[in-house]
Amino acid sequence: MALESLDFSDCGLEGQLPASLGMLTSLQHLHLSSLLLWGSIPESIGNLSSLKTLDLSSSNLNSSIPKSLGKLSQLVELDLSNNSWEGILTEAHFINLTSLKDISILNSYREMPVSLLLNVAYDWVPPFKLHILHIGGCRVGHCFWALIQSQTELVYISLYNTFISDSIEEWLSKISSQVKYLDLSYNNFSGRLPSQLKFPKLQSINLGHNQLEGPLPLWPTNVISLDLQSNLFSGPIPSNLDQLMPKLIYLDVSENHLNGTIPLSICNMKDMYVISLRNNQLFGEFPQRWSLWSGINIIDVSHNNLSGNISSSMGMPSSLEIFKVNNNNFSGEIPFSLQNCTSLIILNLGGNKFTGNLPLWIGSNVSTLEVLQLRSNLLSGHIPPHFCNLPHLHVLDLAHNNFSGTISKCLKNMTCLVEVNDTCQRFTLYEGYDGKTTITSKGKELEYGDDKLAKWGNMIDLSSNNFEGEIPEQ
């Protein structure tokens, strides 16, 4: 019986792909992902005339992609993602891929140099009708829009970090109306978003890290995820957002120029899971009814001009894992009801005017914290013994407050803070969340993505307080 399926994924296989691979002419499914391969795909790959699935993702390959790949007329799924490809992809690489529905060619590591160019002529008519197009970490030619326009059956489009410089409205007009997932982030799109969308089935849209401007869109849509971070949007958050996007669970409009208050209606969006309004020019008080968000996981309103007290009802959602309100003008005591947030991993209240003592619930009701930042407030009192019951903590910043007394020896109980410990599990972020945290080290402010903060190491800062006595050995 002829071999039809071969799967060596994630088995520790090392070496080069042999030319003899092309002799398996009856092979229909080839999975070689997550391996330690090197070199290139052999030209003989074009002999696999029955191949329907080819998965070489995350296999360390680092050469050009052979044109013989374009001979695979039965190929339906092609995954070449997370490798280090180089050279130029042209029409010849796709010339006979008449069955192709799903293609993925990307390098997910944005800091690596880009050495792959996908360049096709504007009048080229592709032989396929894609459903999924996932390209990232490479350059696409200035006529790539023509390929997009020809793909009328696309439901998933991801073209992040592909160095596209164009009008966003022009591009959106060329995309299939059937699309459900759209990611054009980390490019150089400019201009204003259209007043209407033609995508009735759209569920997720990511236009973050571009040069888009104007007001936030007033789209009536069923989208569940909206990411517009790191653009030039201005004006207020729409007051009727809950009516425009009633199914929204993920909202990231951080690092823009938004102003005004946080609309009260946003609290009506009871399925909200992630909300990030970081680094805008929002002012006014914190909404009082956020406890309606029973499933909220991440709240980040840091680096704004918000003021007043934070309502004690804020602490109601036990699902809350990341809570950042740092660098605002909040005052009053740290809300007692945060004790109900028994899953808290990151708590950053720094750079405000909070007063009072360290809450009794830190280290008792809430012991899951891995990052605790209370610096630059007006907090006072001693560090209570139960505060040391934070075995997972690896960043502690209490600097620039009015704490007094001795530094408790029980800090050594914070095992992940005082020693390198392989058992200390760093938190896992919500997929797609691109949060940032500022760490002050030796007087310098360093900004880390929350995904990298989890691997950053240990830090403790108790400076600029009124502590006395000896410094504990640990």
The Cα–Cα gap between 220 and 270 comes to 18
Q: Is 163 left (phi over 0), alpha (psi -120 to 50) or beta?
A: left
Tell me the per-residue pLDDT of 306-365, one tens digit each, with 9 for 90 and over.
999 987 766 668 889 999 999 999 999 998 888 988 999 999 999 999 999 999 899 888
pLDDT, one tens digit per residue, over 55-68 is 999 998 888 899 99
pLDDT tens-place string over residues 183-242: 999 999 999 999 888 899 999 999 999 999 999 988 888 899 999 999 999 999 999 999
Residue 292 has pLDDT above 90, yes or no: no
Q: What's the pLDDT score for residue 455?
A: 60
Joined tokens for residue 47: 């002999």
**Residue limits of CATH 3.80.10.10 in the chain:** 1-164, 273-474
Specify which residues 30 forms β-bridges with: 6, 54
Fold of 273-474: 3.80.10
Share of the chain above pLDDT 90, in %: 60
Contacts of 396 (CB under 8 A, 6+ apart): 372, 414, 417, 459, 460, 461, 462
Q: What's residue 109's pLDDT? A: 57
What whole-number distance in Å separates Cα of residue 271 and Cα of residue 103?
Answer: 33
Q: Which region holds residue 106: left if phi is over 0, alpha if psi is between -120 and 50, else beta?
A: beta
- State whether the Cα torsion 365-370-376-381 is positive or negative: positive
Q: What is the per-residue pLDDT for 2?
A: 82
| Domain boundaries 1-164, corresponding CATH code | 3.80.10.10
Q: What confidence tens digit (pLDDT) does each residue in 435-466 have?
A: 777 777 767 777 777 766 656 668 889 999 99
Tell me how far apart the alpha carbons of residues 197 and 175 are, in angstroms, rounded to a whole number.
Answer: 11
Query: Quick one: which of 261, 294, 290 has its CA closest to 277?
Result: 261
**Whether the model pTM is above 0.75:** yes
Strand 329-333 with 305-308, pairing: parallel
pLDDT > 70 fraction of the chain, expressed in percent and rounded: 92
116 half-sphere exposure, CB direction, 13 A CA radius: 25
Mean pLDDT of the chain: 89
Which residue in this structure is represented by tokens 């989208």? 223
pLDDT: is 180 or 384 the higher one? 180
Assign 3-class secondary structure to 36-69.
EECCCCCHHHHHCCCCCEEECCCCCCCCCCCHHH
Mean local confidence (pLDDT), 93-106: 95
Q: Which amino acid is at 344?
A: L
Q: What does the pLDDT read at residue 389?
A: 87
Q: Which two tokens stand for residue 307?
A: 């003021």
Which pLDDT does position 78 carry in this prediction? 97
> Rounded to whole angstroms, how far apart are CA atoms 441 and 453?
13
Instruction: Decide which of 100 and 471 is more confident.
Output: 100
**pLDDT tens digits along 259-277:** 999 999 998 898 999 999 9
